[in-house]
Structures are given as C-alpha cells and as structure tokens.
C-alpha cells in the first residue's frame, strides 16, 4: 500500500491514475480452490484436457475470481487515507469481462479515481475506474466502475 495522504489530497486526484498493483499469479491451484468455494466447477476452469479442446486452448480463471482479486490489488495499490477507519464495498456500476485469464497468468490492476462524494459527516463515496491487465496480453481481463464507502474517525470535508 502506498503512503498515507489526506482526504482532500486524494479527492484532488479526480480524473487521475491513483495506483497500479503488483502482479498476482492466477495459477491452476487458485482456480481450483475458487471453483470449490463457489461450487462453479465448469470444465473450462478445472479440466485442462477438456479445456484444451475449446477456443481458450486451456483452463481459464472464473470471471468472478478475477473480480474478487480487485480487493487485494486495491490494498496493494491505493494510498491509505488519513483518518479512515475502514472502507466497504458499495458495488459496481459497470463490470465487463473482456478477456479470459489463462491459468498460469499474472494480473495487475490500474486504478483511476473518478469521483469522491460526501455522504455524511464521517463518510465519503468513492468511484474508481479499474482495469485488470493480463501480463503479455493487450486487452484487459476486465474493466469496472467500482464504488466504495470510506468511514472516518472524525468529521471530514472534501
């Protein structure tokens, strides 16, 4: 995670890139474990022999696995905002799974701050554009508009 900055300094970055995560490996073990937890055991994710006969030429990560990786990528890439006690996922206004993530690939996320809106004396809504890059592949794995609510210990103003 990057260094701590004030809320006003963060909000001043609207329209700008605010962070890029490190690379995360999406290996077959991670894909298989995700399949078990979510009970999504479709062969394109867990059966290399069958998946090799598809247009994907091998197993691919679940779209929702890629989406779930946004949290560790955000923690890795985004600055800590001074006085924030926690943030919660508020949802998405847009998600598109653009390119499948082949097993064994590495992915990272690029974050752009779109907006910061005051919701109450101690909370703000953030809106970020996120693009997940697959190492060595031109098109992104996914693009999304992600919403989060940040809560603060003291009243804040943007």
Residue 43 lies in a domain: no
What is the reported pLDDT for 102?
Answer: 98
Is position 18 within any domain?
A: yes
pLDDT in the model for residue 72: 97
Range of the domain at 143: 2-25+62-152
For residue 50, being part of any structural domain is answered with no
Q: Are strands 84-97 and 142-152 parallel, antiparallel or unpaired?
A: antiparallel
pLDDT for the residue 2: 57
Residue identified by tokens 């996914």 is 142
Task: Output the domain CATH number for residue 132.
Answer: 3.10.129.10
Candidates 45, 93, 89; CA nearest to 70 is 89
> Nearest to residue 66, comparing CAs of 22, 25, 29, 36?
25
pTM of the model: 0.94
Query: From the CB of residue 69, how many other CB atoms can be counted at a distance below 10 Å?
Result: 23
What's the pLDDT at 61? 98
pLDDT at residue 118 in the model: 96
Residue 15 within any structural domain of the chain: yes
CA distances from 70 to 46, 127, 128 (A): 22, 14, 12
CA nearest 79: which of 150, 153, 156?
Answer: 150
34 burial type by CB count under 10 A (0-12 exposed, 13-18 middle, 19+ buried): buried
Decide if 158 is inside a domain: no
The tally of domains found in the chain comes to 1
Distance CA 9, CA 158 (A): 9
Task: With respect to residue 74, please indicate whether it lies within any of the assigned structural domains.
Answer: yes
Q: Please indicate, yes or no, if residue 139 is contained in any of the structural domains.
A: yes
Residues lower than pLDDT 50 in the chain = none
């Amino acid at each position: 995670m990057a260094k701590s900055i004030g809320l006003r300094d963060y909000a001043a970055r609207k329209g700008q890139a605010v962070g890029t995560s490190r690379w995360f490996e999406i290996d077959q073990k991670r894909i298989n474990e995700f399949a078990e937890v979510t009970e999504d055991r479709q062969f394109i994710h867990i059966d290399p022999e069958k998946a090799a006969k598809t247009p994907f030429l091998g197993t691919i990560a679940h779209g929702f696995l890629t989406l779930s990786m946004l949290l560790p990528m955000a923690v890795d890439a985004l600055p800590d905002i001074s006085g924030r006690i926690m943030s919660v996922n508020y949802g998405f206004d847009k998600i598109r799974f653009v390119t499948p993530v082949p097993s064994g690939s590495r992915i990272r996320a690029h974050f752009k701050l779109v907006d910061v809106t005051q919701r109450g004396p101690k909370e703000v809504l953030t809106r970020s554009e996120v693009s997940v890059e697959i190492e060595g592949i031109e098109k992104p794995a996914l693009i999304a508009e992600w919403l989060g609510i940040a809560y603060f210990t003291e009243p804040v103003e943007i």
